[in-house]
Structure 1
């Protein structure tokens, strides 16, 4: 062997072996892909690589280089035909082949030969082309902004008194102290650590604080409620309800609390904080002291399990803050997904904010339970639940409930007419009686876990028929519905399009059509094709193309079945709990959206039960096992459409920030958000701030001065953008990813405007490490 390497030259031998190995992989994988009906490129390219390897082995160097150069040219043409001059899709197709082309220089250099085969020139040209293509794209397409109304904040206008800042959930602040011109001076002001980061926990910090008076109020994922000094971040008081986190959900969270002023004697908490715990308690606290309010419920506590029947630990809790409207605290609750048909009710209830008395209940399965379930009975089990934050219109007397699908998510053959009518819908209830005023379904017979995760946002819009009181509903489907909030009729056109039914199990009752909001931009992304499969190299891209071809996929709303099929957008969305932010003065809606896929397969009952019994797992949501869906003929197995490098198989961007003109429905600008700074193969951080567009949860806040603040992406970063143009104007590092909605307020002590966000990371997004940080930014005091 030594003589052989010496005779042939070690560099030529090594290159020959490399080409042979790659050729064998391409031939084997390419043949598999062709057999699945996919591209012939990899098979043909593999044959070419094997021939080039043989030529090198025989020391026919120039012939091998010429063949490889021809292959590079063919690769370039094929790549341009498939994806055009699109930087990220071009990268895996061209970078590795071009770098291997450069290796042809190595043997000639070692032989000190003057010849330079054409492969070198081809490789260099490809690298130059790729570098040009990878230049960062312009920030955005410009939009025309209306004039800014000058405003000096005072009193409550400088506060953040509700989850979405107001009952309408606009996430719009009238503050103007921080502007596009001075935001670059924004610096960290303080960081508060909640102390809640348990080893091995999967639960992220997702809280959106409130700022009322001289207090900042927030909650942890263990339902500890904390009051801080908004100027310094100093802890003022802490209340720990001592919840038991055991139960069905492997992720627990608390996204916010409610602040209320009530007509009550001082001893009865005129200013109070209301919070809902993981073990289903509604608690009222004195906002000044953190002590329980004795006049509310039983010594400050209402038991939400009353009337619910059996509630296994962790099968029911409110993860998002309730709505406060017309003296009522209105709340729903998260109900365990995919566990059983016999799960707690998704009932919506209203409790008196002063006394904690139940004023009304909306039971979708039994309207007779309006005043609570009779003794010995319970609210209808397994009805559509609502885990997102509701919104309200005090003047109209309506509360808007975003609902999910009934449990289990991925089989609907046993659903009732009420389940179909109210599942994955926006339901408007009378705030005083709980009577249904109207409802609008955003998905028909939802089998994809497309429950509405976003708070409805209320905004007035100008139409050809005049100004309309409207409601914007973002969905996991990636659809943005614009409705008349008085009656639920579409303001922006909605059409029904045929939906695929191929591959559904025989017991299922598929919806033949699905609703699409054609009057607003779609954030679902185009249906995926094999060409959309991506990888860091041609090897994992080939793997992803084979994987895609193995899946049953007929576009959006492909039904689950006994074979593996693809859900896209994924079960996470689309748009999740961050919702949208609206600048009502400019008429601009800011949308955070993400793009990746989920693979699903229904597993027959006997096989599901056998697998779960053999595993003996206590993890109710382990994706390596079927989810039980007990009471149905099938369990459900879920996984991400990921490459062997643990990166999404579809091409980036995976996260976008976009702006829409709410009056016309025109897309004003859209840009990827997030870089590779804290991401990479196998979950490693590359430390390279190349713009890519990363997935994320959480939303944005917009200000009158023309700024949009957001964390969102799987990156340890917090950003500010010009609302009108999408231009990034400021960025700061965080301890981890911020997958919560930020807020902004004026500190009553200094008069400075602060911007605050929870940086907690997120297990489901592989956004690590998990953290307990609340981080505040402000302009320098001078």
Structure 2
């Protein structure tokens, strides 16, 4: 009976591999699966006849599969395991006495050969477990290049006054009580829960991405449903809270808040009402001014304390426009953009950038990329409107007050994947960083990172400003721009000219009828762009779902980065989450190095003719997964991660890394897998494959980097020099926010908000968590 059952199993595997392998061959793929499928059928037939040659043939399958797998992917355990797992287990089963001893003449020799093959497989498996072909081991320089670096603001080292600590967005703190030597002694200091939890009726993109700010002895945060809260920095005790009552709207694509903005009125008497203010952006397109001391509304600001950001929009469907990121405060102005729902409709709000008087809320200037030459405030009362559906900026700006410039990362217009009929201004400003004059709003320079963007490769991250020593040793004002496509551009922030080489590379051609693709696309000398996907990069838990992913690769259009969208379906890699996203990178301005979290997750997009899109109410309107309607456009788009039949990525891990690079040379010093599959699988498996993440890092002068972000719900600390992990702590919910650090009463704290992320399915929550050194190690 065992012989019969084993033969049937081998035959079933052979038929599956042979049939699907034959299909793969017709698509131009590997012959391996067809050949090994036929060999499985041969082994099944020989075994059924109790012929010892079955052991010899299966030994050939086993040895041949090992050689083929190592030839394709080297000694990468995660890829070898998928290729060889089933085959090796069957090899061991066939060698067992209850199978081997029931075969005819020659079983001794066949058993020896199969034993050797099994041992070889085990040796390769064990050896590969200690290898990582994807790892880059190295060290960043430890020299202090700038002894007195320009941090972008002059305030107490213990404060964290803006989203990226200062207007430069460096995510760098000069605090050094926590070091690489003592970080392992971090312990919980306090925990606060906001009470703002994800609701059943919330949109899927309900996420908690806030980075707290700290001024004097107070932390200020916002929550996904637009509560503003002040906390005591020593204890985490609530001082005040304000509820914006922004409500729920199923048409919102995002329900989140990345932070609030602090501003002190230089003319106000100390202690007077609203002398210091916190500005809260909301999900229903308002900006509310609050007294930083009491949380009361500053009624003298705008309309009884509230700016209505939908003013001046020709079309203003509720839920389509909001501010998810804090404005910047500079020179008495609040400068703010706005998020527009991706791929909902061509009649959406404008992506205009506006400056308002921080005291009164009066409109000072407006820069509309659809009409960039005229920044004079439009006459809203007289019926003037901004350009409909112009490229918007949903992320955080950076500011150099000395140069008088604000740096704005720009996205695209709806629809992201269709470029038919775009204006000259859209073609110029889409997917770029633009430098605007703080006083007038006029653009001083623009540097574009994707030409004629058809992939939703908006610039997602706050630009990072620092001074970088040039070849002559003199400091040069620089800007670091991380992008979704993996390039990190290092520019002269005075002019936008590249400091590290920026070149053009040929791009795939062949857009849909009526559209076009750019002949070339930019790339940077400092780049984390992935190598193009190949069939050998396809992955699965088993040989079978890996084979299905190989077939899926050939069924889609794919010619590398910037493969145009198609009716057939195209692979977008890097995908819509990008290599870098709103979490940006952190820099050390003393050592002039950076730390980032490159992520690699392919997506697919398939254009859907408008006539085939269901009526409103019967199909999704827009999302990073599913049907995006693009109402008013000739096509919608169906998109989502490139997944196999078991719902795991088709591309092989690692999907997420930590990396360090020298910003003077563009050299990548190290790159290590980051995170485990503990919260991605039904069982809490601690396998460190390198998992996706969304969030950002933070660096301290103590040489420590802090990062949550990964989908396995941990906060981790790393050595900035080597990228090696030094410490981790389990979070009660997803940590998809950027941590910060501050000090009070001589004690340094690290804080992260853990509330989960709707897009990647991490556990929701409402936690603010602080950590500090125990008394014996705090110095």
TM-score tier, shorter chain, comes to over 0.9
**Residue 44 of structure 1, CA deviation:** 0.4
**1:717 offset after TM fit, Å?**
0.8
Distance 1:149 1:407, change over 3 A: closer
Answer yes or no: is 1:563 the counterpart of 2:565.
no
Residue 572 (structure 1) aligned with residue 577 (structure 2): yes
For residue 148 of structure 1, report the CA deviation from its aligned partner. 10
Alignment counterpart, residue 143 of structure 1, candidates 140, 146, 149: 140
The 8 Å contact of residues 694 and 709 in structure 2, kept in 1 or not, is answered as: yes
Q: What's 2:13 paired with? A: 22
Residue by residue over 1:659-701, the C-alpha shift from the partner in whole angstroms, topping out at 9 and shown as x without a partner, is: 1101111111111110122223xxx3x3221211100100100
Is residue 412 from structure 1 mapped to residue 419 from structure 2 by the alignment? yes
SS in 2 for 1:678: coil
Q: Which residue in the other structure is 1:264 paired with?
A: 268
Find the residue that maps to 2:37 and give its secondary structure. Answer: helix
Within-5 A mapping of 1:583-732 = 583-608=588-613, 611-613=614-616, 616-617=618-619, 619-621=620-622, 626-680=627-681, 684=682, 686-732=683-729
Aligned partner of 1:72 in structure 2 is: 62
Residues of 2 paired with 1:473 and 1:625: CA distance? 29
1:548-594 deviation digits (Å, cap 9, x = unpaired): 01010111101112111111000110100000100111121111111
- Which of 469, 472, 483 is 1:475 aligned to? 483
- 2:216 & 2:623 partners in 1: Cα distance? 44
Query: Any unmatched runs of 5+ in structure 2?
Result: none
- Are the counterparts in 1 of residues 398 and 464 from structure 2 also a CA contact under 8 Å? yes
Name the structure 2 match of 1:120: 115
For the residue of structure 1 that corresponds to 2:90, the secondary structure is helix
Partner of 1:214: 217
Matches within 5 A, 1:221-260: 221-260=224-263
Residue in 2 aligned with 1:97? 87
For 2:405, the equivalent position in structure 1 comes to: 398
Give 2:32's aligned residue: 41
Is contact 1:424-1:442 (8 Å) kept?
A: yes
Asked if residue 752 in structure 1 is aligned to residue 747 in structure 2, the reply is: yes
Q: How does 1:733-744 map to 2 (within 5 A)?
A: 733-744=730-741
Q: What are the residue-to-residue correspondences of 1:415-454 with 2, within 5 Å?
A: 415-454=422-461
- How far residue 247 of structure 1 moved from its aligned partner, in angstroms, is 4.3
Q: Does 1:779 align with 2:770?
A: no
Cα offset, 1:267, TM superposition? 4.0
Please report how far the alpha carbon of residue 343 of structure 1 lies from its aligned counterpart in structure 2 after TM superposition: 0.8
Distance 1:121 1:249 in 2: 61
Contact 1:277 1:317 in 2 (8 A): yes
Once residues 89 and 326 of structure 1 are traced to their aligned partners in structure 2, the CA distance between those partners, rounded to angstroms, is 55
- Secondary structure in 1 aligned to 2:124? helix
More helix by share: 1
Q: Distance in 2 between matches of 1:30 and 1:551?
A: 17
What is the CA–CA distance in structure 2 between the aligned matches of 1:136 and 1:156, rounded to whole Å?
46
Residues in 1 aligned to 2:379 and 2:660: alpha-carbon distance in whole angstroms:
45
Kindly indicate whether the alpha-carbon contact (under 8 Å) linking 1:136 and 1:691 is maintained by their aligned counterparts in 2. Answer: no
**Preserved contact between residue 655 and residue 695 of structure 1 (Cα < 8 Å):** yes
Counterpart position of 1:183: 183
Q: Partner of 1:386 in structure 2? A: 393
Retained in 1: the 8 A contact 2:256–2:324? yes
Distance 1:149 1:305 in 2: 44
Task: Judge conservation of contact 2:175–2:702 (CA < 8 Å) in 1.
Answer: yes
Distance 1:169 1:348 in 2: 19
Deviation string 1:377-408 (CA, Å, 9 cap, x unpaired) is 21110110000100000100100000001111
Residue correspondence of structure 1 range 300-319 to structure 2 within 5 A: 300-319=305-324
Once the two structures are TM-superposed, the CA of residue 147 in structure 1 deviates from its matched residue by 5.1
Distance 2:537 2:295 in 1: 53
Structure 1 length normalisation: TM-score?
0.94
Q: Secondary structure at the match of 2:607?
A: strand
Report the CA distance between 1:372 and its aligned residue: 2.6
SS of residue matched to 1:157: coil
- SS of the equivalent of 2:157 reads helix
TM-superposed deviation, 1:299: 1.9
Counterpart-to-counterpart distance in 1, 2:96 and 2:623: 49
| Equivalent residues in 2 for 1:534-545, closer than 5 Å | 534-545=539-550
Secondary structure at 2:678 match in 1 = helix
Q: Which sits farther off after the overlay, 575-584 or 628-637?
A: 628-637
Q: Closer, same or farther in 2 for the Cα pair 1:659/1:474, shift >3 Å?
A: same
Assess, with a 3 A threshold, how the Cα gap between structure 1 residues 624 and 759 changes in structure 2: closer, same or farther.
closer
Question: 2:41: which partner in 1?
Answer: 50
The range that moved more, 460-469 or 431-440, is 460-469
CA contact (8 A) 1:102 1:124 kept: no
Between 1:564-573 and 1:772-781, the stretch displaced more is: 772-781
The answer to which of 112-121 and 727-736 deviates more is 112-121
Equivalent pair of 1:250/1:620 in contact (CA under 8 Å): no
Q: How far off its partner does 1:364 sit?
A: 1.3
Distance 1:178 1:150, change over 3 A: farther
Shift of 1:140: 3.1
* Deviation of 1:149 (Å): 9.9
Bigger CA drift: 327-336 or 137-146?
A: 137-146
d(CA) in 2 for partners of 1:633, 1:568 = 24
- In the TM superposition, what is the alpha-carbon distance from 1:340 to its structure 2 partner? 1.6
1:109 deviates by: 7.2
Quote the Cα distance in structure 1 between the aligned partners of 2:229 and 2:718. Answer: 30
Moved more, 44-53 or 459-468: 459-468
Q: Residues 148, 180 of structure 1: CA spacing in aligned structure 2 closer, same or farther, 3 A cutoff?
A: farther
Equivalent position SS for 1:651: coil
Bigger mean CA deviation after superposition, 189-198 or 31-40:
189-198
Where in structure 2 are the equivalents of 1:478-493 lying within 5 Å?
Answer: 478-493=486-501
Supply the RMSD in Å over aligned alpha carbons. Answer: 2.0
Could you say which residue in structure 1 is the equivalent of 2:4? 13
Q: Contact (CA 8 Å) 1:701, 1:741: kept in 2 or not?
A: yes
Shift of 1:261: 1.0
